[in-house]
A and B are shown apart, each in its own frame.
Chain A
Amino acid sequence: MKIALLGFGTVGQKVAKILESRKNFYENKYGFSPEIVLVEDSNSQGYHTNGLNPKKLLERKEEKGDVGSGRKLDLNDVEFDVLVECTPTNLEDGEPGLSNILQSLELGRDVVTSNKGPLAIAWEELKQTSSKNDSILRYEATVGGAMPTINLAKDSLAGNKIKQIRGILNGTCNYILSRMRGGGLPYDHVLSEAQDLGIAEADPSYDVEGIDTALKIVILANSLLDFNVKYSDVDVTGITGITSEALDLANEENRVIKLIGKVNGDKLEVGPKMIPKNHPLAVKGTLNVASLKTDLAGEITITGKGAGASETASSIISDLISINRVRNFR
């Protein structure tokens, strides 16, 4: 399998590292032999028809901060089988991810992405382009990091109708709310602690305002419930302004407060909610959890790490191996 890897940051580098270090394991166990032929970061490009050396790429990125000299090649000019798209999430127009993915699908090439922007912005277009060109689009890494949410619903729960989805899909918010409850600490204090630990970004609004959760809810609703919705269709409230007194008052009644994303009927909602302490969704720390209500299998709940380099890479690689099974690339 010839891979074009666009975006060589936390996630992209981890994917390259694992594909290299598990080369023999993947070859022997799955007959999966990936080669990264193209790699791109924000201002440079590396290309080799017979595959680049991931170790050298990682060293060069570390030392020089780039992956090659300049950017000359377009996806049209490159021979590749699968695009791995790991550029930053952009909520305005989905770029550069959206154009990368569309171009690849139009070329009849398969795509694996961890980038939520394009899916939340242009779901219908992506779906149609992929089916028209018989190209596969997989995106497990966009929701719940390592938690196998989308593929669980599409593969293991195939044949069910999914009635409702509820979950905690943002580790930053869950960390903040868990810490505030555990220690009776104020929001601002816990947020700055989370920033020091690298759990929250310097500008935390994308997480704490519920935007990230809402994007994931949109992706789940579109891909698992055949909705055709956008970010603006979600009723979103974040966790800013939540007081430690609120957590105390909930605690007195054996409740915790969690930022819950929910698809119920035709309603999409993200907001802080009270749930019983012993509820399956009441996971702690940075954990994520998702619960799918189905008509045949009943309610299925999964939990796991919602972000992190190797967790996200795990989902990307599992999508790549699935594609390899269908296509039998050499």
Chain B
Amino acid sequence: MTGETVLALRGISKRFGAVQALTGIELEVRAGEVVALVGDNGAGKSTLVKTIAGVNQPDEGVIEWEGRPVAIHRPQDAQHLGIATVYQDLALCDNLDVVGNLFLGRELKQFGLVLDEVGMEKRSRQLLDSLSIRIPSVRIPIASLSGGQRQVVAIARALIGSPKVVILDEPTAALGVEQTAQVLDLVERLRDQRLGVILISHNMADVMAVADTVAVLRLGRNNGVFDKRSTNQEQIISAITGATDNAVTRRQARGEGGER
């Protein structure tokens, strides 16, 4: 069962030049809940993720963490709160090895100032083993890994801290069947550990398999939040494509007034 709300977005808007990427987005994530964020290409999913992660600043709106409004100005702020993000473009450093990437920005140290390479290597191997992730060696540069292997390294990196909310932006897009199953298993284990998960995916089967709640974005606006148990795939797809504008959202928009 899902618990209290960890992360809540209230009326988030974001504009890039002439593009209004996000308009009045509402989203809630509870502990032990998997929220699938779906929408067509360009719907604003990645922009929303970057806003939560502190990469972008929202123009309007409030981010609430455990009930209190928080300011997330930098990626560090999000990390300190306990938000771990796996970006769609992975954001790995090609020239560093797997260990270097896993611990980038929070290296283990000896005597306070020297890298504890042995300790980090040991932890990396344990973490990757425990996630059943197979890569040739933790000491080869990221550049020599396949797309799927990079993806799992990026996911493993998100778990190195002690996150309370994990955001996965299209984590299975580059993966094969077995690795996709592994990632979905991982998502379920995160939920069992009472973490909140935001999962972005284009694959409806994946979404229906693991999500508790499905939030639909369309053209930068909310287009319905569905409880997985009381909805079906067709409903969600029609919300994504805009065949049905969600009544609730419409009423909200009208209630705020002044909008088209």
A binds B: no
